[in-house]
Structure 1
């Protein structure tokens, strides 16, 4: 590593020697001349030393330093994962996006104040006393995703099959509970996988998959998990897709 160029020479000590004999001064001068003449012809201001390297700095038009040439470019936004076979992605009238099985239709279960909703997607005849399965997407009014399952516990014939467990993986924070309950005035027993989660807009939502005959909940776990993966809140940007608000 080259040393920095020599700084200014210290002030001559000759100032302290004013009372010395003139011959001493002459001797010093002659010595300096001899030393100067013994070099290789270079100026002694840093003789034999390589000049300090100066790295030019590029500037932008506003005077700020330009980024380094080795600075990696900004990474593009991650693309949305591919939909599983048999699913399609819909943008609901309420503004959210979600993945539902192909051929399923939308039904409004209840509309609340602005920004609150409860929407069902189901196959043909699912609402006629439990034919088939359905997916329910709704807002959650409770402030905590774990405590918000109290509403499900109030359903007729409620039986908890698996206590609320925190979601794992790289998805949103939330909880999943599995239960059975009777709806339609006790006429139908449903097996349900319900997930409450906090979306990218900071609000709590629920996706609940309910089936009539699948008591081992295999299909319901797949349906609720797929809905969660592809859910995007109103006005949100999820992967390479933006949902209008």
Structure 2
């Protein structure tokens, strides 16, 4: 018996197989492309947002690009100074390298910062009087302890405003020799009254003694207070 020839598969079957193969290829391509896009997106998540906590694949927290320095940090950018958060209850800028001391005053702790080399000092303390001008007048003229009683006392300058008063003077210290002083008393941002005193040898330029006080006053901010 002669075998019956077998012809090629019917065209419809072959078309369906080719179409199915194309569909599978397209689906695989789409999945691979989507996976690559997700991985690339994950590694850069947060780079253009303000969320600050992107969690891409293999990436740690992403810092917020919208963060800005706080006013306290901005105030500390002067060269040669550093910001101090003093445990007494305020922050201010003092020269780098100056050492801190604290002692109990008549009505409040007196915090001191001293230069290790040239004898300059800052003193910071809270006032008990009602006004800066009244406090400074009492400190100068009290018959028992006023610094007008010090040997060699001489007023160099005097000024005042609505919320502050200042006196610059010199005197002769029995141990340190001739000294110059700038005593600045003021109302702080929270309404409390404070004094910042700058002292140094009379032989130094007056600006060199005053500059740390100027910087301390400009940056002074009581704790838990918004300061401009």
Alignment TM-score, normalising by the size of structure 2: 0.58
Please show how residues 27-38 of structure 1 align to structure 2 within 5 Å.
Answer: none
Q: Does 1:230 align with 2:212?
A: no
Quick check: which one's helix share is greater? 2
Report the CA distance shift for 1:209/1:187 in structure 2 as closer, same or farther (over 3 A): closer
Higher mean C-alpha deviation, range 135-144 or range 185-194: 185-194
Q: Secondary structure at the match of 2:132?
A: coil
Count of residues in correspondence between the two structures: 151
Match of 2:96 among 98, 102, 111: 102
Q: Is the 8 A contact 1:142 1:148 kept in 2?
A: yes
* Equivalent-residue separation in structure 2 for 1:194 and 1:105 (angstroms): 20
Is 1:146–1:164's contact at 8 Å kept on the other side of the alignment? no
Alignment of 1:178-189 (within 5 A): 178-183=168-173, 185=174, 187-189=176-178
Counting only pairs closer than 5 Å after superposition, residues 105-120 of structure 1 correspond to structure 2 as 105-111=99-105, 116-120=108-112
Over 3 Å counting, the alpha-carbon distance change for 1:78 and 1:234 in structure 2 is closer
Instruction: Confirm or deny that 1:176 pairs with 2:176.
Output: no
Gaps of 5+ in 2: 1-67
Larger CA deviation: 154-163 vs 136-145:
154-163
Displacement of 1:106: 0.4
Correspondences of 1:71-150 after superposition (within 5 Å): 79=71, 80-111=74-105, 116-124=108-116, 131-149=118-136, 150=138
Q: Which region of structure 1 is more displaced relative to structure 2, 157-166 or 85-94? A: 157-166
Does the C-alpha gap of structure 1 residues 107 and 82 become closer, same or farther in structure 2, counting only changes over 3 Å?
Answer: closer
Residues 88/144 of structure 1: CA separation in 2 closer, same or farther (3 Å cut): same
For residues 37-84 of structure 1, give each alpha carbon's deviation from its aligned partner in whole angstroms, at most 9, with x where no partner exists. Answer: xxxxxxxxxxxxxxxxxxxxxxxxxxxxxxxxxxxxxxx998343532
Deviation at 1:85, TM superposition (A): 0.8
- Please provide the CA RMSD for this pair: 2.6
Gaps of 5+ in 1: 1-75, 126-130, 168-172, 240-245
Q: How far did 1:215 drift?
A: 5.4
Instruction: Supply the distance in 2 between the matched residues of 1:85 and 1:226 (Cα, whole angstroms).
Output: 11
Kindly state the Cα deviation for residue 91 of structure 1 after the two structures are TM-superposed: 0.8
Q: Which runs of 4+ in 1 moved over 6 A?
A: none
Structure 2 CA distance for partners of 1:175 and 1:83, relative to 1, 3 Å: farther
SS in 2 for 1:201: coil
**2:159: which partner in 1?**
164
8 Å contact 1:94–1:234 — kept in the other structure?
A: no
* Contact 2:97/2:115 (<8 A) preserved: yes
User: In 1, distance between residues paired with 2:77 and 2:121?
Assistant: 18
Contact 1:180 / 1:191 at 8 angstroms: preserved in 2? yes
